[in-house]
Amino acid sequence: MRLIGILFVLGGWVLAMSGLFMTSSNAGRLIFACAGIAVSIFGILGILNRYYLARAIWKK
C-alpha cells in the first residue's frame, strides 16, 4: 500500500509537469496542474495516511 501511495504522488507530479510540454495555453496548463495536485493529495492523504495510521505506534 505504501508503494501505491508513493506511485500516486509521483504520478501526480508527472501529470502536473507534463502539462508544461503538452500544451502552450495557460488554461490547459492550469487544468493539468490542478489534476496533478489532486492526484498527489489523494496519494498523500488518501493512501499513505491510511497506511501509516493503521500501523501507528499508539495502536500497539
Q: Name the nearest CA neighbour of 28 among 16, 37, 39, 40.
A: 16
Reported as a pLDDT band with limits 50, 70 and 90, residue 60 is confident
The tens digit of pLDDT for each residue in 12-56 reads 999 999 999 999 999 999 999 999 999 999 999 999 999 999 999
Please report, for residues 33, 48, 53, the alpha-carbon distance to residue 12 in angstroms, rounded to integers and kept in the order given: 9, 14, 22
